[in-house]
């Protein structure tokens, strides 16, 4: 079968490997769609694992069922979670599933950018979700990123009365905007350096959009919000300048959610004394737990958010390098790879 092997952002090769053989308790999925995530193009995050097959937003059809699997059958349309928690450790039992060691060490093989995926037993038990007929395979790729957004806003305790500042209006930022808007958040402000993305932000519910290249983000926020900063600041880009804006734009008693983070080489300054006096919370969010993915599936099924229009490019596996370039250069929102086309 064909797989896209990642060596670097500039070197992704479509290669032939043996089709996976499944064992007892496992599934074989024919991959129909897999989105390129913003984290897929972070070389500091990905290159240390190269060569590897990336892709963690996969949907497809069950084509083989291992012995002992009774819940799924050939022909089932599914979304498959690449990381799953154990459900019994102290982290899982305290609602910190994405800190679970099992979650960090589980995965399907070889990755979503391949024609077929072998789903291990634990993923079959805790990370496979049937897609209703009303959801296309392409819409299904949003279950994973939306699940991450749902978890992030829960961790940050986003409330309807809040003023929320979302820094970065790529796919993650736009999902945060849509979810906040759906939940009736009082004021939503979004930033980016790309006017096309800012237009999407406005369309999807941002009350104010700020071009961070042209305008002073802090001052624009203050002017719009009657001299007050944001109750919740959600960082959805690894830009160091956006990180600095996040620190300046949080209100007293507010929260900064690091949904994305800068390159590890960046030396972050945190004004701890000011935050100590003003009870500012800094928190992080990584990944999604099964309950977050189930909520995301329900929202996608109900057509609660506008997702189809976030897909700007659909490409076969042979053109995956072009897809990565589009994402890196900011010329695309969601790029969906169709591995069997």
Instruction: Give SS3 for 78.
Output: strand
Distance CA 313, CA 299 (A): 23
Q: In this predicted structure, what is the pLDDT of residue 268? A: 85
- Gap between the Cα atoms of 43 and 263, Å rounded: 9
Task: Give me the pLDDT at residue 341, please.
Answer: 86
Ranges of residues in the chain with a pLDDT under 70 are none
Closest CA to 24 of 106, 123, 121, 119: 121
> Cα-flanking dihedrals φ and ψ of residue 319, to 5°?
-110, 20
* Distance from C-alpha of 94 to C-alpha of 34, rounded to nearest angstrom: 31
pLDDT at 285: 97
Q: CA–CA separation, 52 vs 15, rounded Å? A: 11
Distance, CA of 254 to CA of 230 (rounded, Å): 7
**Three-class secondary structure assignment of 180-201:** HHHCCCCEEEEEECCHHHHHHH
Rounded Cα distance, 255 and 156, in Å? 7
Q: Helices 217-224 and 240-249, interaxial angle, to 10°?
A: 30
Q: How far is CA 47 from the centre of its chain?
A: 19
The reported pLDDT for the residue numbered 25 is: 98
Q: Domains in the chain, ordered, with CATH?
A: 2-147+288-338 (3.90.180.10), 157-284 (3.40.50.720)
Does residue 337 come out as left (phi exceeding 0), alpha (psi in the -120 to 50 range) or beta?
beta
The pLDDT of residue 144: 98
Bridge partners, residue 235, by sequence? 167, 258
Query: pTM of the entire structure?
Result: 0.97
């Amino acid at each position: 079968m064909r797989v896209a092997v990642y060596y670097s952002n500039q070197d992704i090769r479509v290669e032939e490997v043996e089709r996976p053989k499944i064992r007892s308790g496992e599934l074989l999925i024919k991959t129909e769609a897999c989105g390129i995530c913003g984290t897929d193009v972070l070389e500091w995050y990905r290159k240390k694992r190269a060569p590897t097959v990336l892709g963690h937003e996969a949907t497809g059809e069950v084509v083989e069922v291992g012995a002992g699997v009774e819940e799924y059958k050939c022909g089932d349309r599914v979304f498959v979670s690449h990381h799953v928690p154990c459900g019994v450790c102290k982290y899982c039992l305290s609602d910190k599933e994405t800190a679970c060691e099992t979650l960090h060490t589980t995965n399907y093989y070889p990755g979503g950018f391949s024609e077929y995926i072998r789903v291990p037993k634990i993923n079959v038990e805790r990370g496979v979700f049937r897609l209703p007929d009303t959801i296309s395979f392409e819409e299904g790729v949003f279950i994973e990123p939306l699940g991450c957004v749902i978890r992030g806003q829960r961790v940050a305790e986003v409330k309807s009365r809040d003023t929320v500042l979302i820094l970065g209006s790529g796919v993650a930022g736009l999902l945060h905007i849509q979810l906040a808007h759906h939940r009736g958040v009082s004021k939503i402000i979004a930033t980016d350096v790309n006017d096309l993305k800012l237009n999407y932000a406005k369309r999807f519910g941002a009350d104010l959009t700020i071009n961070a290249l042209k305008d002073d983000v802090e001052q624009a926020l203050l002017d719009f919000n009657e001299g007050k900063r944001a109750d919740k600041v959600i960082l959805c880009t690894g830009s160091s300048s956006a990180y600095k804006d996040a620190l300046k734009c949080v209100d007293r008693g507010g929260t900064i959610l690091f949904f994305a983070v800068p390159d590890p080489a960046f030396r972050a300054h945190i004004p701890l004394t000011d935050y100590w006096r003003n009870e500012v919370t800094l928190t992080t969010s990584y990944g999604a737990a099964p309950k977050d993915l189930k909520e995301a599936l329900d929202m996608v099924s109900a057509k609660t958010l506008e997702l189809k229009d976030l897909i700007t490019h659909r490409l076969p596996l042979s053109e995956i390098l072009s897809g990565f370039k589009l994402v890196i250069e900011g010329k695309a929102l969601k790029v969906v790879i169709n591995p069997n086309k």
